[in-house]
Amino acid sequence: MKPTLAKLDGLNRRRFVEYAAKSALGVGLMSGLDQAVAAAPEAGKAKRLIYLFMNGGMTHLDTFDLKPGHENQGETTPISTSVAGVQISQFLPTIASQFEHVAAIRSMYTQTGAHDAGEYLMRTSYEQIATTVHPSMGPWIQKFKGRQSKNLPDTVLISAPARHPAAGFFDPVYSPLPIGDPNRGLENTVPPAYLTGDSFEKRVNLIDAFDKRFRDKFNVRKVKTYTDLYSEATSLLASDELKAFDLNEEEAADRDRYGRDSFGQGCLLARRLIENNMRCVEVTCGGWDMHNSIYNAGTLPSRANILDKAVGNLIKDLDERGLLAETLIVLTTEFGRSPVINYNVGRDHHPAVFSAALAGGGIKGGQLYGKSDAEGHNVDENGVSPADLNATIAMALGLPLKEVIKSPTGRPFTVAHDGNPITALL
C-alpha cells in the first residue's frame, strides 16, 4: 500500500485516504478528516511580491534569533514585540511594533558561505552552473500569471547587483526593469527640448524600417520578443503611469519616515509601484558583511536602523491602505553570521543557520518558525532551505510548484526546484 500511496499527488492521495477511511472505518468517522482537510492552508492569497534582500549576510543573532544570556549574543539585547511573549532585536523597534503581521523563520540553512553562490541559490533555488542562468521569482510570476499591466513592467529591481540572475533563460520579454537609485527614479524618460513628439515618432518609425529587413530574415521568437520589449518601453515613455516612479510625488514627511537612504527610498518606491498594480519589486540593502567592529555605531546599529525604518513603515502603510493582505513581503539574505564573535569584534560567514521573515499575503503573522540550537550555531528544529522558502513564496502566490518549464537547451526546471512549502506559515 505504501508504494502505491507514494506515487499519488497530493489531491489523489487525499482522496485515496478518504476512500480507505470510509471503507474501513465507516462514514461516521470522516468528520474529523473533513475538518483537517478544511483546515489546510489556503494558498494563492498573495497577488504581489515585495522581495527585500539583505546583501552580505544578515546576522541572525542580532535581528530575529537572539540568545540572551549566552556568551555568543554580544551587545544586542531583546525587546518585546506587538505579540505577547515574542522578542526580537533592540535595533528593530518599528518592525517589533508590526510583528502581528510578521512570521520570522529562525531555521534557514544553506550549502555555501560564498556571497555570489549564496545569493544565486536564494534567488533561484538552484546552484550556479556554467550552461544555464535560472530565473528569479518575479519572472516566474509573470511566466505563470501573465502580464499584469499594459504599460508598466511586471518586475522591478531596485539597487540590485550586476550579477542578479534576473529573467535567466526566459525570453527577454520577462526581463525585470533595473533601477539603480530610487531617488532618481526611472531615468532618461524626459526627451531633450529639441525632440518634439512628431520628431520622436519619425525616429521610431525610421528605426523600425531599418529593423524590418532583419526581422523578416530572422523570423524567430527571440528576435520578436526583443522587438516587443522595445515597443513596451516606448509605450511606457508616453504613459501617465511613469509618475509611479517619481518619489517627488510623496510628502517629505513620508520620505523621512522610510529613511532618506537608498534602501528606505527603495521600499517607499516599492510601495508606490505595488499601489500601481505591479507584480514584483525587489529591493537590495547592502552592507551586511560585518567582519569587523560589528557593534560600532556605523556598522550593525546603523544598518539595522535603515532596515527597521523602511520595512516597519512599509508593512504599516500597506496595512493601512488595505494592500498587505494581497502583498507578500519577504525579507531574506544569503546566509547568517558566525555566533562566535571573531578577534576583529565582528562576525564571519555562517551558512549553517540564519533568519528570514515573511509578512502579508496569506502569511500567519505573529509567529516564530523553526529554531536554532542554544549557541545559534546549527538548526535545531524545522530546517528551511532556500528552495523551501521559495516554494512557500510560490504557494502563497498561487504558482504551480510542479509545472515543468524547459530551458532553451531542453533541461526541465520548476519554480522552486525540490523545495517543500512551509504550510505552517500559510
Cα separation values, 419 from 189, 335, 354, 401, Å: 41, 17, 17, 9
- Asked if residue 368 has pLDDT above 50, the reply is yes
Asked if residues 413 and 404 have their Cβ atoms less than 8 Å apart, the reply is yes
Domain ranges of the chain: 48-185+251-425, 186-245
Question: 48-185+251-425, superfamily in CATH?
Answer: Alkaline Phosphatase, subunit A (3.40.720.10)
The string of pLDDT tens digits covering residues 27-63 is: 343 334 343 333 444 567 899 999 999 999 999 999 9
Q: Say what the pLDDT of residue 354 is.
A: 98
Alpha helices in 158-217 (DSSP H): 197-217
Judged on CB neighbours under 10 Å (0-12, 13-18, 19+), 175 is buried
Asked if residues 152 and 205 have their Cβ atoms less than 8 Å apart, the reply is no
Beta bridge partners of 51: 282, 330
Its pTM stands at 0.84
Q: Say what the pLDDT of residue 99 is.
A: 98
Q: What is the CA radius of gyration of the chain?
A: 24
Backbone dihedral region of 234: left (phi > 0), alpha (psi from -120 to 50 degrees) or beta? alpha
Pull the grid cell for residue 394: 510560490
Per-residue exposure over 359-368, b if at least 16 CB sit within 10 Å of its own CB, e if not: bbbbbebbbb
- Asked if residue 81 has pLDDT above 60, the reply is yes
> β-pairing, 379-381 with 327-333?
unpaired
- Confidence at 239, pLDDT banded by 50, 70, 90: low
Q: Taking all residues of the chain, what is their mean pLDDT, rounded to a whole number?
A: 87
Pull the grid cell for residue 155: 518586475
Q: Could you tell me how far CA 84 lies from the centroid of its own chain?
A: 27
Task: List Cβ neighbours of 85 (8 Å cut-off, separation of 6 or more).
Answer: none
Q: Say what the pLDDT of residue 151 is.
A: 79
Alpha carbon distance 40, 403 (integer Å): 21
- Asked if residue 412 has pLDDT above 50, the reply is yes
CA neighbours closer than 13 Å in the CB half-sphere of residue 10:
7
- Confidence at 426, pLDDT banded by 50, 70, 90: very high
Q: Is 68 helix (H, G, I), strand (E, B) or coil?
A: coil
Q: Which helix (H) or strand (E) holds 116?
A: helix 115-124
Q: Say what the pLDDT of residue 149 is.
A: 79
- Asked if residue 24 has pLDDT above 80, the reply is no
Beta bridge partners of 48: 327
- Asked if residue 329 has pLDDT above 90, the reply is yes
Count helices and strands in the chain by DSSP H and E runs: 12, 16
Pull the grid cell for residue 165: 540572475
Alpha carbon distance 358, 348 (integer Å): 25
Alpha carbon distance 426, 420 (integer Å): 13
Report the percent of the chain where pLDDT is more than 90.
73
Cα separation values, 52 from 207, 310, 393, 405, Å: 38, 10, 13, 26
